A and B are shown apart, each in its own frame.
Chain A
């Protein structure tokens, strides 16, 4: 499978715990995005990387959230001191150098905070 892969697919955690999600983009894609999706809503932009540089972060990304893409390949999204409001599907997407506008989404990591 050469699509965008995310791990884990599901995570249940207790409030206050830290969680980390990993995204492996399509190998030749230099652009990587994190979006968050809650029930009944469209995906909401969180952050964007071009290679290893994080070029933009949404205001939605509080200081408890941090994302990295250390070698310009895979990316991690960490949420510290989780809150119930963090429960959502976290979607990763990637796109190539040619700006066709097409984002290739992974199937997401579903977070449930109890």
Chain B
């Protein structure tokens, strides 16, 4: 089943924080986060594995609650370059076949 993302869209001013949520109705093996800018390819942000640690780089981090089958992406002190559509994808046991959510459109304004 397709994971459900919320919110569908969010508008921020530069420097503000945002949280994007991703939930699934089926047991998750891993959660994958990608960002896609308009007209460009999706770009990998991070993967969270069942039983793994919270991941992050720069001011973007994520958590994975296996019990609730949820993941959240945290964007801290957002920059203009963070604008884009964020997708979470889940896999049932292998990393090649991902089911992506509909995405969250993030707009960061000056």
Binding site for B on A (CB under 8 A): 4, 31, 33, 40-45, 48, 56, 91, 95, 99-108
Chain A residue nearest to B5 (CB atoms) is A42
B101 neighbours in A (Cβ, 8 Å): 42
Contact B42 A105 (CB under 8 A): yes
A100-B47, A101-B30, A102-B47 known; A42-B100 Cβ under 8 A: yes
Chain B interfacial residues counted at CB < 8 A: 23
Main secondary structure of the interface of A (DSSP, over half): loop
Please tell me if the beta carbons of B95 and A56 are within 8 angstroms of each other in the complex: no
Q: Is B89 an interface residue (CB 8 A)?
A: yes
CA distance A48 to B47 in the complex (A): 19
CB proximity to A under 8 Å, residues B24-50: 30, 32, 34, 39-44, 47, 49
Given the complex, which residues of A lie within 8 Å of B96, measured CB to CB? 31, 33, 48, 56, 95
Chain B residues in 8 Å Cβ range of A56: 96-97
Chain B, range 74-110, C-beta contacts under 8 Å to A: 87, 89, 95-103
**Which of these, A101, A102, A107, contacts B40 with CB under 8 Å?**
A107
Chain B interface (Cβ < 8 Å from any Cβ of A):
2, 30, 32, 34, 39-44, 47, 49, 87, 89, 95-103
Chain A residues contacting B34 (CB-CB under 8 Å) are: 103
Tell me whether B44 and A41 are in contact (CB under 8 A).
Answer: no
Please name all residues of chain A whose beta carbon is closer than 8 Å to the beta carbon of B44 when the two chains form the complex.
102-104
The interface residues of chain A lying within 8 Å CB-to-CB of B41 are 4, 91, 105-108
Q: Which of chain A's residues has its CB closest to B98's CB?
A: A45
Q: Give the top 10 A-B pairs by smallest Cβ distance, nearest first.
A: A42-B100, A105-B41, A101-B47, A101-B95, A102-B44, A42-B87, A107-B41, A105-B42, A48-B96, A45-B97
Could you tell me the distance in whole angstroms from the C-beta of A91 to the nearest C-beta in chain B?
7
